[in-house]
């Protein structure tokens, strides 16, 4: 049995059901809408925690000691009780006492801070996350990414049962920064679990030649969501950040009814031999798409019988249920050991993790620093988002023509060189997906600090992003191309895919060396 048998059977069933019928469209869009709250909460910190102009609050009295004839005398600077022309200046993070241009004394903002705008417009000003506490603003984004990392492994099963919008609402009522950070962490946990499930289900619900569709549509939905976020933040710029957060939390309202409408993945049901659920799903899909159910069940029966007779000699074919008896499931321990014992699984996972980390660090880092593009916070972020639209259109044209590997290579070359110029000028698959998502979340935890890093080393973030992107070109050569191919269902399938990749490598080189 080749690895495409089971996948090909599901593909034929999906096609016979009309793969883009009314049933599939409803499922597709309900899963795709998950992108909107993900985009909102991923970048909302840029607006909710926007920088606020500030200075030290005036103090009622300030006494300093000055030396006169070898003797220190104390003077009340505020009351101007000294023979010197002393001036007090309230800077962003210090209170300075000067005699002309000479700095005589400096202290921290002992009386707190004054802000140019109402303090409730940003949690930075409300929680006084400035000066020596400035890094805590970036830390809140790190907590979200850390929550996503935890959610990629521990909360996937709970994601559909727990309405993560509750945590988004709770954010708006955080009395202090500690509670706010905890709520960001919990929001990341449950949101990432739902996002992972949605992504996998979007891929699994389509035939193999349509697998790129979720990415094609998702690119535009993501960009559109971020553009909408910029618009919402701009319109609510004079409102409290708490009201803005409540508006963003409303984007998760679909989770209240999503659980009862979205069905399980047909591929997952077939792989795990959930026969009763398979028939229920096919009945529902056939009824919605106005397809003859018997035709679909007959196709499924013939495919299952074929695989049974060729690979499962002891399977019991049920005459009445059109499906075969369940076979023994693979223990979960084998999935975990596959990452250690199988070199190709380990290689694929490590490379995938590195690429996800690189993309996450670079993408979120650039967005976090986009506020430096213009004087307007909202325009700077909007411009950084708009430039993704041409890439989304290029992706539509190039993804199937160039293939996955070549497209990744070209995109990382362009990204690396662009940032270099800017610097100079200024199941097993699900587990692997989870590990890659974990790596991306680690990148997301690091990315917020690129904004602080750029204040001290302006060329630093661009240099780091360039090196990470260009290194992807080296490691990508080790992976096989997957365009137009069924994804491996077993470890043996993965081995055959890597062996085929090794054979195709020399053939492609020999073709290039042949005279025209």
The residues spanned by each domain of the chain are 33-52+122-263+333-483, 54-115
- Average of per-residue pLDDT across 193-205: 81
The 10 Å Cβ neighbour count of residue 445 is 23
Distance CA 403, CA 483 (A): 6
Q: Which range among 117-126, 287-296, 379-388, 423-432 shows the weakest confidence by mean pLDDT?
A: 423-432
Integer Cα distance of 8 and 270 in angstroms: 12
**86-90 and 102-107 strand pairing:** unpaired
- The two structure tokens encoding residue 271: 């792989």
| Per-residue pLDDT, 237 | 92
Cα–Cα distance for residue pair 485/506, rounded to 1 Å: 20
Position 225 scores a pLDDT of 94
Task: Give the 3-state DSSP-derived string for 27-47, with helices as H, strands as E and coil as C.
Answer: HHHHHHCCHHHHHHHHHCHHH
pLDDT band with cut points at 50, 70 and 90 for residue 164: low
Confidence of residue 361 (pLDDT cuts 50, 70, 90): confident
CA dihedral 40, 44, 47, 52 (to 10 degrees): 170
Rounded to 5°, the CA angle 33-483-4 comes to 95
CB atoms within 10 A of CB 345: 23
Q: How many CB atoms lie within 10 A of CB 108?
A: 11
State percent of the chain over pLDDT 70. 65
Instruction: Say whether pLDDT at 159 is over 60.
Output: no
Q: Is the pLDDT of residue 28 over 80?
A: yes
Q: Quick one: tokens of 171?
A: 């954010």
pLDDT at 373: 66
**Token pair in block for residue 447:** 């990315």
What number is the average pLDDT over the span 265-270?
84
Pick from 295, 291, 254: nearest CA to 30: 254
Region 246-263 average pLDDT: 82
Once rounded to an integer, what is the mean pLDDT over residues 180-204? 83
Burial (CB count <10 Å: 0-12, 13-18, 19+), residue 202 = buried
What's the confidence (pLDDT) of residue 509?
Answer: 47
pLDDT (tens digit per residue) in 447-506: 666 666 776 677 777 777 777 777 766 766 666 665 555 555 555 665 666 666 665 654
Q: What are the tens digits of pLDDT across the range 81-97? A: 556 677 888 999 998 88
Four-residue CA torsion sign, 287, 288, 292, 298: negative
What architecture is domain 33-52+122-263+333-483?
Up-down Bundle (1.20)
């Amino acid at each position: 049995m080749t690895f495409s048998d089971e996948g090909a059977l599901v593909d034929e069933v999906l096609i016979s059901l009309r793969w883009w019928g009314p049933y599939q469209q409803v499922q597709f869009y309900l899963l795709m809408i998950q992108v909107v709250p993900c985009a909102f909460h991923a970048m909302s910190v840029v607006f909710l925690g926007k920088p606020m102009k500030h200075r030290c609050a005036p103090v009622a009295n300030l006494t300093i000691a000055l030396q006169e004839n070898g003797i220190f005398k104390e003077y009340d600077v505020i009351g101007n009780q000294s023979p010197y022309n002393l001036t007090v200046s309230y800077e962003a993070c210090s209170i300075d006492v000067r005699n002309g241009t000479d700095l005589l004394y400096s202290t921290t903002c002992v009386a707190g801070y004054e802000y140019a705008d109402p303090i409730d417009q940003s949690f930075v000003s409300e929680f006084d996350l400035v000066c020596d506490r400035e890094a805590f603003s970036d830390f809140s984004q790190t907590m979200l990414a850390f929550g996503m990392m935890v959610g990629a492994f521990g909360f996937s099963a709970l994601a559909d049962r727990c309405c993560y919008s509750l945590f988004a609402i709770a954010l708006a009522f955080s009395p202090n920064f500690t509670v706010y950070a905890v709520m960001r962490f919990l929001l990341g946990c449950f949101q990432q679990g739902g996002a992972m499930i949605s992504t996998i289900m979007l891929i699994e619900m389509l035939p193999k030649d349509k697998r790129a569709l979720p990415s094609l549509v998702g690119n535009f939905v993501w960009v559109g969501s971020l553009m909408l976020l910029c618009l919402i933040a701009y319109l609510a710029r004079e409102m409290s950040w708490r009201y803005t957060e409540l508006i963003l939390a409303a984007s998760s309202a679909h989770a209240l009814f999503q659980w009862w409408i979205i069905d399980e993945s047909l591929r997952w049901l077939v792989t795990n031999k959930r026969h009763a659920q398979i028939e229920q799903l096919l009945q529902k899909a056939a009824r919605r798409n106005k397809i003859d159910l018997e035709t679909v069940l007959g196709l499924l029966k013939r495919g299952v019988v074929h695989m049974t007779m060729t690979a499962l000699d002891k399977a019991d074919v049920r005459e009445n249920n059109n499906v075969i008896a369940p076979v023994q499931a693979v223990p979960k321990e084998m999935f975990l050991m596959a990452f250690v014992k199988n070199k190709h699984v380990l290689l694929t996972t490590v490379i995938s993790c590195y690429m996800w980390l690189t993309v996450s660090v670079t993408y979120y880092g650039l967005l976090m620093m986009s506020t430096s593009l213009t004087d307007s916070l909202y325009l700077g972020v909007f411009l950084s988002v708009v430039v993704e639209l041409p890439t989304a259109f290029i992706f539509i044209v190039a993804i199937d023509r160039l293939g996955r590997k070549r497209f990744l290579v070209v995109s990382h070359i362009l990204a690396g060189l662009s940032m270099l110029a800017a610097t100079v000028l200024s199941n097993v698959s699900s587990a692997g997906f989870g590990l890659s998502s974990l790596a991306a979340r680690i990148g997301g935890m690091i990315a917020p600090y690129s904004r602080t890093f750029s204040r001290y080393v302006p060329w630093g973030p661009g240099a780091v992003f360039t090196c990470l992107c260009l290194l992807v070109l080296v490691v990508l050569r080790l992976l096989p191309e997957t365009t137009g191919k069924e994804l491996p269902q077993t470890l043996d399938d993965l081995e055959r895919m890597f062996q085929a990749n090794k054979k195709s490598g020399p053939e492609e080189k020999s073709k290039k060396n042949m005279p025209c």
